[in-house]
Amino acid sequence: MLRWVRQQLGFDPPHQSDTRTIYIANRFPQHGHYVPQKFADNRIISSKYTVWNFVPKNLFEQFRRIANFYFLIIFLVQLMIDTPTSPITSGLPLFFVITVTAIKQGYEDWLRHKADNEVNGAPVYVVRSGGLVKTRSKNIRVGDIVRVAKDETFPVDLVLLSSDRVDGSCHVTTASLDGETNLKTHIAVPETAVLQSVANLDKLVAVIECQQPEADLYRFVGRITVSHQTEEIVRPLGPESLLLRGARLKNTKEIFGVAVYTGMETKMALNYKSKSQKRSAVEKSMNSFLIIYLIILLFEAILSTILKYAWQAEEKWDEPWYNEKTEHERNSSKILRFISDFLAFLVLYNFIIPISLYVTVEMQKFLGSFFIGWDLDLYHEETNQRAQVNTSDLNEELGQVEYVFTDKTGTLTENEMQFRECSINGIKYQEVNGKLTPEGFSEDSPDGNRHSLMKEEELFLKAVCLCHTVQINTDQTDGADGPWHANGIATPLEYYASSPDEKALVEAASRVGVVFTGTSGDTMEVKSLGKPERYKLLHVLEFDPNRRRMSVIVESPSGEKLLFTKGAESSILPRSKSGEIDKTRVHVDEFALKGLRTLCVAYRRFTPEEYQEIGKRLHEARTALQQREERLADVFNFIERDLELLGATGVEDKLQEKVQETIEALRLAGIKVWVLTGDKHETAVSVSLSCGHFHRTMNILELVQHKSDSTCAEQLRQLAKRIKEDHVIQHGLVVDGTSLSLALREHEKLFMEVCKNCSAVLCCRMAPLQKAKVVRLLKTSPEKPITLAIGDGANDVSMIQEAHVGIGIMGKEGRQAVRNSDYAIARFKFLSKLLFVHGHFYYIRIATLVQYFFYKNVCFITPQFLYQFFCLFSQQTLYDSVYLTLYNICFTSLPVLIYSLFEQHVHPHVLQSKPVLYRDISKNAHLGFKPFLYWTILGFFHAFVFFYGSYLLMGEDTSLLGNGQMFGNWTFGTLVFTVMVITVTMKMALETHFWTWINHFVTWGSIVFYFIFSLFYGGIIWPFLHTQDMYFVFVQLLSSGSAWFAIILIVVACLFLDVVKKVLYRHLQPTSTEKAQLTEASSGINCLDSMCCFSDGETACTSLRRMLERLMGTCSLTRVNRSWSSSDPFYANDRSILTLSTMDSPTC
């Protein structure tokens, strides 16, 4: 119970030891001094709250916001001292905002609890007491032996003990963890692999020692000690032995495994880690505005307090005959009275801070984010993938991007590899009709039509067929991609690989005669020109990004021990001592210039003594519990040396569709594009030129292959000088990983200066953390530009998390980038629509929403301040407390919310076809100091007109009511309030460019609702109200013709100047966006009413559209006349739900 309480409060202590000891089947030692370790249970908890901590935790999070905390203080002040307004005026809006937010967050958490309960209650089978016991997933303990059947997901992280196969192997797919759909092979240690029955497993006595839980999916260090008769056998355990929770068992009837990590300690759960909170520029501006308005509030309260005491310096005003002080008031401390009056004025003016702003912004972001997922232009039909929003808090940041950092492979390219060329023994070859043909020979030439392979060619192809992690799908159906052909013989083999390069190479080898036919236990089978050969797989030296290569050690049919290695040329060529090294290096550079991805292939023969030494070193390194990775790296380097170079391969990765147009559009929008890739220099430059990142006319500057600080600094100075001297030409910069690390170490400022003067930057040979460093460098530069990172692989995650906005591509390199991103799209080309349309709209909408909120609250509270000059600063309120409470909640909230969801000041197609319009909103243009000052001054101006207009027209003549009654202070206040509600609502209408029936309904409906509510509120005596100052006031006001005249006159006077200003600015100083609006109007884009449009021209809500057309009398399909055609470069097939526009069949 105590541990549960500690868990709930977050005080559960961390693991004390670096390793954990697990007794299989929980057979603990019998000696008395053993203390079992405590492990987490197997419950998955993705929820944020519990029943016990929901209220305190949620309230704490909400009151961390400035506005909420401020209103709480005001509410407490109202409770403690005598203030002019009721505590309800502050308490009710605060309660409403807190309650709505709590309900939203509580509902979301309830859904998470529901999902958790489904997972935790799933049935599983566990070996206990010599038999299989059915239990719930949450009841699994560390040490339990669990049985998992075919196509089931693993309920915990298991170490594989045995499977239905003799060799103890099984196949799994980790698509739900990292998106990789290939089958991965996992192997049990030989001592447990033979235990295939429950009875045998129940007799197993073994202990596992392994590392404590960590998030890395691909790392696991442990060892198993099996007690066999009188001896103890120790075997290493690595990632190949660990079956991860969430992965699925494939092509295997059943497996048994022992639970090593459970519940929130599984690798899947540890990867739930919450990303660092990103805050948008708009949110930062909003907080700055709040502070400015707090200063205005304090100034008004202090000024009012000082003026009150200045006025009361005269005796006749200090204690007038009609308001004599009590004895207690006369004797009270002046300081206390001053503080009390100051707090009272603070309460009176507190509504200048818009409490409902936060909740409105949250609703706008949450609801607005659905438009991205609904946008059919961001839907990829081939993969059936829609755009995905993981973080709605950054919607408006999409409209502020200044730098785009993009990965190359899988982001700009398809990540679909096709074998093109290879170099074997210094001779270049191409594949022609399933045959390897030397360059320069055609199929018809004598040497080009060969049916056999030379010795070097065969060895090269065997190396390609043996050195990989490719799997064969044994469950394939006729609907597979199709058989490969090896010398005309169809082979029904379908390959799966985590690396598309490997798959392309194995497929190419099979087409030219050397076919990889699969693995059986530790045997790899290869058919060379139809002749089967078996190679025993002795060791796999796994690929890692530091070595940039992978190797296998095999035993050939003749008993020879061979090492086959493949990897980047920078990691293979320096380790090669023989072979055609120089010729191959030239060929690799030629392949790279063509934009091909290159790999070098080499091999080494071992003597029996050498192999014995290697085997011993590998076993020691793999069974080490401490520093296993470092020891393995040393052993791998020892093994992978003195290589004999066989050749190199060139694989093509095709560019994605419309990449060139998208990059050009980004450049027109004023966005700089940086490509960050791990590929070699020549390949990266070639792809940059082909995708339009670099132009042929661009002056390409290089900062590559520097080994020392001094040479790097000298080169940077020369580049800076060249840019200054030749400032007319556009420059592109190429930098490699080693030079970059030198530049960032000592010469960061100079490097940034060079980069900022270049139109395009290409960074090649980049490690994942270097990508993040580059993003951080730009992010923290003095200009503080908004950055966006886009990538598709696990190596892009750090870059995606570092940038202001991270976008994952749903590619073929797993789902890690998508899981860690803020937004996910299927193709790079969708980036233009995401930024130029969605980003533009979201920014305009929220910028107007924020400033309008401050404007309407200035309009609301300034007349209250002015009124104090006419009531001797007695803190008399101008408005009734109900009006104070409902102004922000009911009367003026909906029009701005609907505006912030649907506003389209320019048609989406125009925004996308004219990327230059994006520049109009860059650098937070609509939320800068000038727009903020304009809206604030406008608010004060309108407030002065409301108050003094009403005072001049109605205040002097107090007998204007129809029944001869005099105007009272409540009637005057209601007149000001009525003018204000109408004016601020009409102001929102003036800002709206895109009118839907919803806009009409909420705009005019808000005004009508105010009138109806006021009539009911003032026209009936409500028994639950203590006082009813407003009884019959509104009815009397509306019965006066002069009051109606005053309302119309003041509203027109307020808005007239605003309209004149807009007209003058549009004609004298129009922005690019306003020019586009004029062009749009003249081109006939005037029919924007339907909700969704599909490729055949029919809408999904035709009946609703026709009903609205009949109601509004507008819009007919015959009047639609678009100025663009299907030949336009950007999304002619405009079928977005966001466009809300009717489309004829040819265009849709």
Active-site residue numbers?
407
Residue 873, classified by CB atoms within 10 Å of its CB into exposed (0-12), middle (13-18) or buried (19+), is buried
Q: Under a CB-based contact definition with an 8 Å cutoff, are residues 1036 and 971 in contact?
A: yes
Backbone angles phi, psi at 450, to 5 degrees: -95, 150
Measured between alpha carbons, how far is 725 from 516 in angstroms, rounded to an integer? Answer: 58
Long-range contact set of residues 716-723: C-beta below 8 Å, sequence gap at least 24: 716/743, 716/747, 716/750, 716/751, 716/754, 717/750, 719/754, 720/750, 720/753, 720/754, 720/757, 723/754, 723/757, 723/758
Measured between alpha carbons, how far is 804 from 806 in angstroms, rounded to an integer? Answer: 7
Say what the alpha-carbon torsion angle 514, 517, 519, 525 is, to the nearest 10 degrees.
Answer: -50
Backbone angles phi, psi at 921, to 5 degrees: -110, 0
Backbone angles phi, psi at 747, to 5 degrees: -125, 40
Tokens of 1008: 């009508």
Backbone angles phi, psi at 128, to 5 degrees: -145, 135
User: What residues have CB less than 8 Å from 437, skipping those under 6 apart?
Assistant: 429, 430, 431, 443, 448
Strands 248-250 and 169-173: antiparallel
Burial 267-284 (b: 16+ CB within 10 A, else e): bbbbbeeeeeebebbbbe
- DSSP H helices, 1020-1120, are 1033-1038, 1041-1068, 1072-1082, 1102-1112
Q: Under a CB-based contact definition with an 8 Å cutoff, are residues 513 and 486 in contact?
A: yes
| Most distant CA pair in the chain, distance | 125
Measured between alpha carbons, how far is 76 from 883 in angstroms, rounded to an integer? Answer: 21
Q: Identify the residue whose tokens are 């070859």.
A: 429
| Nearest C-alpha neighbor of 580 from the set 648, 494, 635 | 648
Tokens of 982: 């109408």
**Between helices 997-1019 and 969-991, what is the axis angle to 10°?**
170
Burial 778-800 (b: 16+ CB within 10 A, else e): beeeeeebbbbbbbbbbbbbbbb
Beta bridge partners of 702: 734
Measured between alpha carbons, how far is 517 from 526 in angstroms, rounded to an integer? Answer: 6
H/E/C letters for each residue in 737-793?
HHHHHHHHHHCHHHHHHHHHCCCEEEEECCCHHHHHHHHHHHHCCCCCCCEEEEECC
Measured between alpha carbons, how far is 859 from 937 in angstroms, rounded to an integer? Answer: 10
Residue-by-residue DSSP string for 1030-1044: TTTHHHHHHT-HHHH
Measured between alpha carbons, how far is 1012 from 111 in angstroms, rounded to an integer? Answer: 39
